Structure 1
Amino acid sequence: MEELARLAGITVRTLRFYRERKLIPPPRREGRIAWYDDHHLARLRTITALLERGHTLNGIAELAEAFDHGRDVGELLGMEAPTEETPVRLTPEELADHFAGQVTPENLAAALDLGYLGVDGEEIVHISRRLLDVSSALVREGIPLAEVLRTGAEVRVHADALADLFATLILRHAPEEAVHRLRPLARSVVDAELSLAMDRRLGRRTD
């Protein structure tokens, strides 16, 4: 326990508190000896990262329970609404391979914060194949995963505002049965405007 606390940068008293709150799984026991491993260390570092991002211990306890019992983290983070995106199931090793060793506790906390990641049993679930592919492609091009996630958080704010704009327009002027048909049109407008905006920004950069 002392060695684990030292590696995690916390006190033994804090470690005992986390264990009592069931924020970390119990150690493997051999007689009177309790063995902790890299999974316990990763969990402690993730707890620290989540606390630094403003999560409460109660909220972290819910996330820990989800990981330990296979509940859907997306539900805990309010991502349970139906979606057109295709989720992707990954092992922890496959997730690490996608991001070239940049799946740090801090980045994991940021991904949980955004609702990008969920869990189902022993598998990690990414909420969107497209977002996973784009994020990993950006990392392969040399952009740090932390910056990709930070930008994703900013994009989320603007995307929510655009969704509010189009939802208001559609719901105000179209019958309910037309909503599904009009969603692709809204995406096309955003895609075209973003393409034009990128042309303007990148054109200024190369002038």
Structure 2
Amino acid sequence: MPKKPPPVAPSPAGSVEPASATSRNEYTVDELARVTDTTVRNVRAYQDRGLLAPPEKRGRVGVYDDTHVSRLKLINHLLARGYTLANIQDLIMAVDEGHDLRSILGLETAIGGRWSRERPKKYSLLELLQMFGDKTSPGALAKAVDLGLLERDGLSFVSGNPTALAAGATMAKEGIALADLLDAVSIARPHFNAVAKALVDLVVHQLDRYDADALPPPADVPALVDAIWRLRPLASVLVESEMNRALEEASGDYLGDRVAAIMEKKLGHPAQGAAAARTVTKKGNAKK
């Protein structure tokens, strides 16, 4: 369990913090680099140029938080759009000097901050073998890395979602082939990406009232940021609810087909058996 962080100091550059900032995520420099898809060297370089605030010092350890994550994501995004570090430095300086661009910092955290509160966890190859047993193979590990479920770190592996990894290990121990499980993730991912895009669009729809190339007025930012922070967990609830509904329907359809096949074999009435089985299944689902 992560340690409870100390009281939050005033945010750099006047950025707007969510009401739940006392439960913020915290990272070492290695974890920060990993979750923002950059390198420790880049993190140090951005700090040296004044693009990234220094970490909080606890003894000899530097502790970063979600404000650093969102700032790094902003830098990465601007670099991808063709801005130079000098351009970005001018932008950050304008923000830090209190220009209207300051407003983007609160939105940057609310929109670009991580949605998961899980912290990455490192596993040795032996630990993975113990978790997945004889289901583990070089091919399965390679596919898990390709899917981003694991990341190589020297001779070890890092999972950004240890809970999901543990769930996969339990399913493998219950007899599900690891290759089939990874195939299911690969097949489902584009659909989850589409769902995520739709829900993020709903959350950031709050910005649609403003011009696409203009920041909201500073006076509007606190309420806007607060609204986005309230909408984020509701989007996750909607995903879980819809997923449960879809799982119930899929399992009900499978059960109906299985019962229909049994009745066809035992009673010799394929049409009647199939119809009866599907009726029973649908009635059961309706009662739920």
Q: What corresponds to 1:75 in structure 2?
A: 37
Q: What corresponds to 1:100 in structure 2?
A: 133
- Which of 93, 106, 121 is matched with 1:88 structurally? 121
In 2, Cα distance between equivalents of 1:157 and 1:133 = 22
5+ residue gaps, structure 2 = 1-32, 39-71, 74-112, 208-223, 257-288
Q: What letter matches 2:185 in structure 1?
A: G
Q: What letter matches 2:194 in structure 1?
A: A
Q: What letter matches 1:151 in structure 2?
A: A
The answer to whether the 8 A contact 2:145-2:152 is kept is no
Q: What corresponds to 2:250 in structure 1?
A: 201
TM-score normalized with structure 1 length: 0.57
Q: 1:148 to 1:99 in 2, by over 3 A?
A: same
In 1, Cα distance between equivalents of 2:227 and 2:154 = 38
5+ residue gaps, structure 1 = 1-70
1:151 paired to 2:113: no
Q: What corresponds to 1:54 in structure 2?
A: none
In 2, Cα distance between equivalents of 1:203 and 1:180 = 36
Q: What corresponds to 2:24 in structure 1?
A: none
Number of residue pairs matched?
134
In 2, Cα distance between equivalents of 1:105 and 1:120 = 16
Q: What corresponds to 2:199 in structure 1?
A: 166
In 2, Cα distance between equivalents of 1:111 and 1:99 = 13
Larger radius of gyration: 2
1:167-202 Cα offsets, whole Å, 9 max, x none, are: 111111362343233221111111111111121121
1:105-155 Cα offsets, whole Å, 9 max, x none, are: 211111111111124454321110121111111101111111111111122
Q: Within 5 Å, give how 1:19-168 maps onto structure 2.
A: 75=37, 83=114, 84=116, 85-168=118-201
- What RMSD, in angstroms, separates the aligned Cα atoms of the two structures? 2.6
In 1, Cα distance between equivalents of 2:248 and 2:34 = 40
Q: 1:104 to 1:72 in 2, by over 3 A?
A: farther
The answer to whether the 8 A contact 1:74-1:115 is kept is no
The answer to whether the 8 A contact 2:150-2:157 is kept is yes
**1:72 Cα offset (Å):** 5.6
The answer to whether the 8 A contact 1:107-1:146 is kept is yes
Q: What letter matches 1:126 in structure 2?
A: S
**1:73 Cα offset (Å):** 10
The answer to whether the 8 A contact 1:73-1:117 is kept is no
Report the secondary structure of 1:154's partner residue: helix
The answer to whether the 8 A contact 1:72-1:120 is kept is no
Q: 1:180 to 1:153 in 2, by over 3 A?
A: farther
Q: What corresponds to 1:182 in structure 2?
A: 231
Q: What letter matches 1:181 in structure 2?
A: R
Amino-acid identity (%):
30
1:58-112 Cα offsets, whole Å, 9 max, x none, are: xxxxxxxxxxxxx969938xxx966423322211100111111222121111111
